[in-house]
Amino acid sequence: MDGYAIEMIEVTKIFPGVVANDKVTLRVKDKEIHALLGENGAGKSTLMSVLFGLYDPDGGTILVRGKEAKIRDPNEATAHGIGMVHQHFKLVHNYTVTENIILGMEPRNKSGSVDLSGAEARVAELSDRYGLSVNPKDKIESITVGMQQRVEILKILYRNADILIFDEPTAVLTPQEIDELMDILKRLKAEGKTIILITHKLKEIKEVAERCTVLRRGRYIGTVDVASTSEEEMAEMMVGRAVKFKIDKAPAKPGKVVLKIEGLTVSGSKGQDAVRGLDLEVREGEIVGVAGVDGNGQGELIQAITGLTQIKSGRILLEGRDLAKCSIKERIEAGMGHVPEDRHKHGLVLDFRLDENLVLKTYYKAPFSNAQGLLDFGAMAEKGRDLIGQYDIRAGEGPATKARNMSGGNQQKAIIAREIDLSPRLLVVAQPTRGLDVGAIEYIHKRIVAERDKGRAVLLISFELDEVMNLCDRIAAISKGEIVGIVEAADADERRIGAMMAGHRGTAVNGSADTHAKAADSNPVAGGKA
Amino acid sequence: MSRKEKGSTGNKPGTGSAASTGGATEIAKKSALDAFMSSNGAISVLVVLLGFICGTILVIAVGRNPANMYTALLQTLTGWDVNRGVWNARYIGEWFTAAMPLILCGLSMGFAARTGLFNIGAEGQYIAGITAAQFVALYGPQVLGLHWALALLAAAIAGAFWGGIVGWLKARYAVSEVVATIMFNYVAYFLSRFLTQLIPAANTYRTPNFPQTARLKNLFLEKLTNGSRLNTGLFVVIICVFIYWFIIERTRLGFELRATGLNKEAARCSGIKVTRSIVISMAVAGMFAGLAGAVVSLGSFSYGRVLGGLDNYGFNGIAVALVGNSTAIGTALSGLLFGMLASAQPLMQSRQIPKEITWIISGLVVVFISLRAGFKMLMDWRAKRIAREKGGERDE
């Protein structure tokens, strides 16, 4: 079988209690872009970790260019010419690009000191050859995430890798950066590199990959030729059934303003202003999405609205009442529901029973507590059964199931059930479908739209632009803690939102009264906003 | 997962569309081992048995007859002296007397633990209780029934105050309760010595005798147990065990405390005032320890002590709560176990069994229990990894 750069034959990786890879076979041809497609948890990352020497496989063989290879650690993978661009970059922020690239294998000159200029020349040469346009002397902290990713690519090219693994490379990028990355991938291929692209985004596969191997729940489903397979067919292989891409929803009928945020400024973890003078409105009967690249103040915005963090200045009006100084409990009672981004940290008490989790915000009220402060567990269990039925939560032992023992999708359903059951005026939803399978995603989207149709105001924050564009009625792009533009979802296009996410206010001006033709970065405190 | 479906690899598009539930449902299926490990009570019993087995082996190893150890323990538990064929209820009384402060300090540790706090300061709260009880005993109104009740109340308040300060420091200034309680133990110890020596006629180790009205002496219990030191403190302990159970398991407050203990962030996010939970929890924990101080002071002593060292009930309470899994009944039972080991010492010595063996056994029990905690961490870690692999937790 020559012509294959990598052959992983019937690779099995068992973790205690779960088979992460069950006799998975992956054959990657030399000089091709091969996509590895699967949902979260399908075993893609495990398989690549086996290839990269991070895990020992429990069975199967790996052949690199036709020769059997035992890859015990990443150094051996590097020796085989395999390099990996991780999803989370491993860079030293106050080092320059070149210093990061040579870290661990610093070239020496005759006097024994590090030959930095020689390394810089080589980095510049590599950057030119693959069209990466990286300046070797830039500090990492001063360049964009997209550029940082290119530094990661250069790092493995510098180590002479010719088989490049990309682990969900587009998750942290803006649409423009994604386009540029796609070009880079094509360029790398043209220069004779073999690429394995781990992803669950079909569009990207269609654009760059030649062949695609699909995994589903740890098992090999098949390898297809991308050109002759439709996105729908690949989605079906990935999920195991037909998938609808569009969310069915009627046009929004927005009413009066429910949430009004004025001049909100919130400090971030490093003391900087993570949210800077932000204004935003959400009306009843509409879903407003905040689109942005991770780390542009979304987390702080949500925490400020829901009361998890103190604000520096500004007002948060819920139906005219300023909640900025209110406790979390007061906000909940004022009609705010919150589906938190991190469901394990903020959403659930994992060692509580499901029914206890379902009443986590109402336990102190009748019928769950009486006036003397005694609990009624019967009423809780009844509520549990009621919501389990209504929201199709699958839990092995019914209301008594420990939340820890439920799947991610069902945990999320439980949170959605609890929050919607509060009948909130405003539902703040952060990353509601992160890490869930397609079935659960569909269900949760449907529920959110149903809440909108009931006349509730919904504020959605998601890093998945597709989710925002699909689900929302209006889209507000956030960049560096400011809303840089708001567009109606109907006339939104990915490119324009992408430009706004990158901080270019000017590109979004037409069609929206809320945007301002103000150059990004010019005036950090938005004092002069209309 | 899905081992039985192994044969169906290589599905063409459109064929493999049967299963639609989330891949993570497999997490719900626990192995028998998992089920056993999650039954904390069963583990505690096993661990205690293991401790005794090791202790027995040790006794044999030093060339003594382990039967003597067990007859000593039997005599402590039942008052029955197998060797001489005599029954004396006093041993039972002494056993309970030894267990009382251990149970109360175990409750103190356990209550804080249920709220996610590590109360190493039961010793200090215990000393605060002793000191307050002694002062009220010496200066309180000498009215029968009222006097000792006031002394108990003062001890409860003093302990609650001493614990509550630490809770407040933690809630307000994020001071680690572990460090603060350790320091507060010494503050309590020296403050108690200083204050008690201010009492007129107190010397460097004791105060004058308590008035009879302050003592927890209970003639009925004494008679029942053939003149042991068992006293009214027994009822205090029983009531405390009940209060503990009631607050934790039945009340709104208990719900808040447990939620805070298991996931502070989620509790906060749900509107529970976590800082309040922390202060209340430390105060209630301190109250139990303070009462332990009063029970020892007013029950087993006829005079106020100028402490010359730590009684260590507070520290032993940590072990008691650990073995008792921080539940009310569990802590009571494990307090009885540790009390039995402590009060069996003189009997063992009289039968040529080194009394240190009891400390070795209790030490081993704690070590084994800790191993379980380690094992549990391992299981948690594993469950997390399974969740990650199965797509439950976060992006890949």
More confident residue, B209 or B2: B209
Helices A145-158, A116-129: inter-axial angle, 10-degree rounding = 110
Q: What is the CA radius of gyration of chain B?
A: 25
Residue with tokens 């895990």: A55
A15 touches chain B (CB under 8 A): yes
Cα–Cα distance measured from residue A394 to residue A408, given in angstroms and rounded to the nearest whole number? 11
Per DSSP, what are the bridge partners of residue A59?
Answer: A12
Q: Domain spanning A4-239: which superfamily?
A: P-loop containing nucleotide triphosphate hydrolases (3.40.50.300)
Q: What's the pLDDT score for residue A6?
A: 92
Which CATH number covers residue B68? Answer: 1.10.3470
Report, as an integer, the average pLDDT of B315-328: 92
Q: What is the 3 state secondary structure string of B308-349?
A: CCCCCHHHHHHHHHHHCCCCHHHHHHHHHHHHHHHHCHHHHH
Q: Is residue B16 one of the residues assigned to a domain?
A: no
Whether residue A514 is predicted with pLDDT greater than 80 in this model: the reply is no
Q: Alpha carbon B89 to chain centroid distance?
A: 26
Q: Give ∠ CA B109-A361-A444 in degrees, rounded to 5.
A: 125
**A91 Cβ partners below 8 Å, 6+ apart?**
A100, A140, A148, A151, A152
Q: Is residue B9 one of the residues assigned to a domain?
A: no
Cα–Cα distance measured from residue B193 to residue B196, given in angstroms and rounded to the nearest whole number? 5
Q: Is residue B81 one of the residues assigned to a domain?
A: yes
Q: Domain spanning A245-335+424-530: which superfamily?
A: P-loop containing nucleotide triphosphate hydrolases (3.40.50.300)
Nearest to A434 among B19, B253, B394 (CB): B394
For the stretch B18-21, contacts whose Cβ atoms lie closer than 8 Å and that sit 24 or more positions apart, written own/partner, are B18/A240, B19/A217, B19/A240, B20/A240, B20/A241, B20/A439, B21/A394, B21/A407, B21/A439
Instruction: Tell if the CB–CB gap between B263 and A345 is shorter than 8 Å.
Output: yes
What is the DSSP secondary-structure string of A392-439? T---TTGGGSBGGGS-HHHHHHHHHHHHHHT--SEEEEESTTTT--HH
Six-digit token string for A510: 């037409």
Cβ count near A381 (within 10 Å): 19
Report, as an integer, the average pLDDT of B41-70: 89
- Confidence category of residue A34, pLDDT binned at 50, 70, 90: very high
Q: Residues B310, B202: contact at Cβ < 8 Å?
A: no
Q: Residues B164, B286: contact at Cβ < 8 Å?
A: yes
Q: What's the pLDDT score for residue B366?
A: 86
Q: Residues A7, A62: contact at Cβ < 8 Å?
A: yes
Report, as an integer, the average pLDDT of A127-148: 89
Cα–Cα distance measured from residue A224 to residue A234, given in angstroms and rounded to the nearest whole number? 8
DSSP B65: -
Best to test chain B binding among A19, A24, A407 (most B CBs inside 10 Å): A407
First to last CA, chain B: 18
What is the total count of domains within chain B?
Answer: 1
State which residue of chain A sits closest to B246, comparing Cα positions. Answer: A374
Q: What's the pLDDT score for residue A524?
A: 40
First to last CA, chain A: 66
Residue with tokens 């028998």: B32
Chain A residues touching residue B9 (CB < 8 angstroms): 22-23, 219-221
- ipTM > 0.95 for the complex: no
Report, as an integer, the average pLDDT of A387-409: 87
Provide the shortest C-alpha distance from residue B270 to chain A (in Å).
5
CA nearest neighbour of B389 among B19, B13, B98, B26: B26
Of chain B residues 28-57, which have a CB less than 8 A from chain A? 28, 30-31
Domain that holds residue B101: 40-386
Report, as an integer, the average pLDDT of B116-130: 95
Helix (H, G, I), strand (E, B) or coil at A46: helix
Q: Give ∠ CA B14-B20-B22 in degrees, rounded to 5.
A: 135
Report, as an integer, the average pLDDT of B279-285: 96
Give the tens place of pLDDT for each residue, B289-310.
Answer: 999 999 999 999 999 999 999 9
How far is CA A178 from each of CA A503, B175, B279, rounded to the nearest angstrom? 16, 46, 51
- Confidence category of residue B158, pLDDT binned at 50, 70, 90: very high
Six-digit token string for B222: 């004494």
A365 touches chain B (CB under 8 A): no
Cα–Cα distance measured from residue A4 to residue B249, given in angstroms and rounded to the nearest whole number? 63
Report, as an integer, the average pLDDT of B210-229: 91
More confident residue, A50 or B378: A50
Nearest to B20 among A350, A369, A439 (CB): A439
Give the residue range(s) of CATH 3.40.50.300 domains in chain A: 4-239, 245-335+424-530
Whether residue B374 is predicted with pLDDT greater than 70 in this model: the reply is yes
| Cis peptide upstream of residue A169 (ω within 30 degrees of 0) | no
Q: Residues A199, A36: contact at Cβ < 8 Å?
A: yes
Chain B residues touching residue A421 (CB < 8 angstroms): none
Q: What is the largest CA-CA distance in chain B?
A: 95
DSSP A250: P
Q: Is residue B209 one of the residues assigned to a domain?
A: yes
Cα–Cα distance measured from residue B242 to residue B244, given in angstroms and rounded to the nearest whole number? 5
Q: What's the pLDDT score for residue B383?
A: 63
More confident residue, B266 or A529: B266
Q: Residues A155, A134: contact at Cβ < 8 Å?
A: no
* Mean of all residue pLDDT scores within chain B: 86
Phi/psi of residue A452, each to 5°?
-60, -45
CA nearest neighbour of A159 among A105, A93, A117, A87: A105
Six-digit token string for A441: 């995603």
Report, as an integer, the average pLDDT of B222-235: 92
Chain B residues touching residue A362 (CB < 8 angstroms): none
Helix (H, G, I), strand (E, B) or coil at A181: helix
A118 touches chain B (CB under 8 A): no
Q: What's the pLDDT score for residue A347?
A: 93
Q: What's the pLDDT score for residue A410?
A: 87
* Strand A313-318 relative to strand A321-322, pairing: antiparallel
CA nearest neighbour of B50 among B303, B361, B270: B361
CA nearest neighbour of B262 among A310, A22, B272: B272
Q: Residues A465, A496: contact at Cβ < 8 Å?
A: no
Of chain A residues 234-253, which have a CB less than 8 A from chain B? 234, 236-237, 240-242
Cβ count near A473 (within 10 Å): 23
Interface size, chain A vs chain B, as Cβ–Cβ contacts under 8 Å: 210
Whether residue A108 is predicted with pLDDT greater than 70 in this model: the reply is yes
B251 touches chain A (CB under 8 A): yes
| Highest-confidence segment of A238-247, B98-107, B364-373 | B98-107
CA nearest neighbour of B72 among B61, B58, B50, B56: B56
Instruction: Tell if the CB–CB gap between A332 and B270 is shorter than 8 Å.
Output: yes
Please report, to the nearest 10 degrees, the dihedral formed by the alpha carbons of residues A350, A354, A356, A359 taken in order.
110
CA nearest neighbour of A373 among B246, B332, B201: B246
Whether residue B228 is predicted with pLDDT greater than 60 in this model: the reply is yes
Provide the shortest C-alpha distance from residue A416 to chain B (in Å).
13
Q: What is the CA radius of gyration of chain A?
A: 25
Of chain A residues 147-186, which have a CB less than 8 A from chain B? 167-168, 171
- Confidence category of residue A521, pLDDT binned at 50, 70, 90: very low
Cβ count near B136 (within 10 Å): 24
Give the tens place of pLDDT for each residue, A190-222.
Answer: 999 999 999 878 888 999 999 999 998 889 999
Q: How many CA atoms lie within 13 A of B29 on its CB side?
A: 9
Nearest to A23 among B6, B28, B262 (CB): B6
